[in-house]
Structure 1
Amino acid sequence: MHTVPYWRLSGFYFFYFAFVGAMAPYWALYLRSLEFDAFQIGILMAPLHVMRMFAPNLWGHIADRSGRRVAIVQFAAVVSLVSFVGVFLGSGFWWMLAVMSFISFFWSASLPLVEATTLSHLKDRTDRYGNIRLWGSVGFIVVVVSLGWLLDHAAVRTLLWVVMGLLVGIVLFARFIPEAEIATLETVHTPLGRVLRRPEVAALLAAAILMAAAHGPYYTFFTLYLVDTGYSKSLAGWLWALGVICEVGVFLVMPRVLRHVSAETVVLVTLAAAALRFLLIGWWVDNMPVLLFAQFLHALTFAAYHAAAIGLVHRYFTGRNQARGQALYNSLAFGIGGTVGTLYAGAVWQHYGGAFTFSTAAACAGVAALVFAYKGHPKT
């Protein structure tokens, strides 16, 4: 009987998303300490998304050709760690942009390949994906809360050493992930282009791009919005953590939910929830009960959405398309969508402020819901 390497995969997710828990909420604080303005911060955060437009597709293609997904993950993890040393060596705009671009090119290789490997290990038990993925949420919570407290009491440059340690953790756990057998149940390989022309696949990918764009202001400026409103960094960390704590609960119940509710219905509901959430953050950030409710909605807008969307990607991209399908999803959503979201967030924030920036995010999520309802959701 095939044994799923539960803890080795979970450990990788823990450190991978702990890294995200350091970068997404707090990297903008570090960049502002270097006296960059909002638009420059948006540009400097963009490489984490820009490189995901094309790098995962390159790595995914190599992985599908070679069958060595984990070897690529291990190589990319080591190069990402070495590259991060560059942030200690300079702080000019162009230097930081170059360093972040180089890190992001290799860092972006990991997640889609690990997602494909995890689902291959799970075989016909893909509903258990959430039980492994939730450890990424735990890693995010641990780091976002502890760093919020730490940065209230220490210099923001401390963040650099924390991130370095998390990259070391990624390298160590990548070393122990076993390769998985790639399913080749298809008697005839379906060309990738034919899969992409299916209306439900195109609708899912379009909605994913818009959903990622909607999250651009949240991942780039939410902490700055809270701090500028008067919240402490510690409280900002707990508000981030609240959303992810709810996320963990949803990952635990998603296997049961997806046995009774279609993945398409879950995606549609979560897109609508995202539109509501970002409107609430934009206009009621100083109202704690409303802000708490908005953070509770993270359980839907990230956890439920992600588990359902990844399941659909795994359903649509089969056989030799698996790694490339996951890579394509990451490239379009977090690459194109994330880049657009980060850049418009910086530009709108610079000229119109937080409320209008988060309203733009809500509009992106609303359009995503309409697109998915039109072509991506099965008609009854």
Structure 2
Amino acid sequence: MGSALIQGSHAAYYIFASIAWQQAGFDGLTIAVLWALGVIAEIVLFALSPRFSLQPSTLVVIAALSAAARWVMMAQDLPLAILAIVQLAHALSFGLTQVGVMGLMLHHVPGHVMARGQGYLTACGGIVAGLASIASGLIYESWGAGIYYVMAVMAAFGGLIIWLARERLSHQPHKAASGG
């Protein structure tokens, strides 16, 4: 659920960022570059992730805090240079969540049920993201960019769930290859 809330907090961003940027006067090429910056940063994070030494639960908490900070910033009218830096934070808000959760699954889900575990993770994430998308439309209609404050709370709550479970998550009862 923690991961689903953090990843689902991206719903308003995915739906409304391009619209908001266009309304701010950015042309199509600039908007495309902003999206590409986030993707490139995420690819770099994934490439470097085998070197990470922090506990997977700690990575997810860092990701949640990064997402919350990112959404608070996105609620502001940012100049292009700052917005570009905020876009690089996609590596942390989305990518680091994925790396941390996959690390948690590797250590806590027996290999013989890993596919089922990933299915549950994806289903839960999809349900939360779908509901957040519907709610985002309704909230954006009234609050505009203020929707990002709601997304910040959502990400922070996801991080809180992981933070509260971190002691339990720091134990490594299973290895994926062990079969349980």
TM range (shorter): 0.7 to 0.9
- 1:298: which partner in 2? 90
Selected match of 1:363 from 153, 161, 171: 153
After superposing the two structures, state which structure 1 stretch, 335-344 or 267-276, moved more: 335-344
Query: What one-letter code is carried by the residue in structure 2 that aligns with 1:233?
Result: G
Deviations 1:177-212 (A, max 9, x none): xxxxxxxxxxxxxxxxxxxxxxxxxxxxx2112113
Looking at structure 1, the residues matched to 65 and 96 of structure 2 have their Cα atoms a distance apart, in angstroms, of 12
Q: Distance in 2 between matches of 1:234 and 1:289?
A: 15
% of aligned pairs identical?
A: 25
Match of 2:72 in 1: 279
Q: Is the 8 Å Cα contact of residues 314 and 326 (structure 1) preserved in structure 2?
A: no
Cross-structure match for 1:328: 120
Task: Give the drift of 1:326.
Answer: 0.3
Deviation at 1:231, TM superposition (A): 0.8
Q: Which residue does 2:57 correspond to in 1? A: 264
Q: How does 1:1-380 map to 2 (within 5 A)?
A: 206-257=1-52, 260-284=53-77, 286-333=78-125, 335-354=126-145, 356-377=146-167
CA distance, structure 1, for counterparts of residue 25 and residue 87 of structure 2: 18
CA drift at 1:233? 1.5
Task: Provide the rounded CA distance (Å) in 2 between the counterparts of 1:268 and 1:339.
Answer: 22
* Structure 1 letter corresponding to 2:148: F
**Paired position in structure 1 for 2:177:** none
Q: Which amino acid in the other structure matches residue 353 of structure 1? A: G
Any conservation in 1 of the 2:49–2:99 contact (CA below 8 Å)? Answer: yes
What amino acid maps onto 1:282 in structure 2?
Answer: A
Separation (CA, whole Å) in 2 of partners of 1:376 and 1:336: 24
CA distance in 2, matches of 1:339, 1:350: 17
Query: Match for 2:153: what amino acid?
Result: A
Shift of 1:289: 2.8
Q: Higher relative CO (CA 8 A, sep ≥ 6), structure 1 or 2?
A: 2
1:229 shift after superposition: 1.3
Q: What secondary structure sits across from 2:26 in the alignment?
A: coil
Q: What TM-score comes out, normalization by structure 2 length?
A: 0.88
Q: CA deviation at 1:375?
A: 1.4
Deviation at 1:270, TM superposition (A): 0.8
- Deviation string 1:298-329 (CA, Å, 9 cap, x unpaired) is 11112222122122123322233111100000
Q: Which has the larger radius of gyration?
A: 1
Task: Give the distance between the partners of 1:349 and 1:236, measured in 2 at CA.
Answer: 20
How far residue 351 of structure 1 moved from its aligned partner, in angstroms, is 1.5
Does the 8 A contact of 1:239 with 1:295 survive in 2?
yes
> Partners in 2 of 1:317 and 1:290 — Cα distance?
40
State the aligned residue count: 170
Code of the aligned partner of 2:14? Y
Gaps of 5+ in 2: 171-180
RMSD: 1.7
Q: Write the letter of the residue equivalent to 1:315.
A: H
- 1:80-135 CA-to-partner distances (Å, cap 9, x unmatched) read xxxxxxxxxxxxxxxxxxxxxxxxxxxxxxxxxxxxxxxxxxxxxxxxxxxxxxxx
Give deviations 1:327-363, integer Å, cap 9, x for gaps. Answer: 0000001x11111221111001112212x11111111
Secondary structure at 1:244 match in 2: helix
Amino acid at match of 1:329: L
- Residue in structure 2 matched with residue 47 of structure 1 by the alignment: none
Corresponding letter in the other structure for 1:324: R
Q: Is the 8 A contact 1:208 1:332 kept in 2?
A: no
Mapped partners of 1:243, 1:350: distance in 2? 26
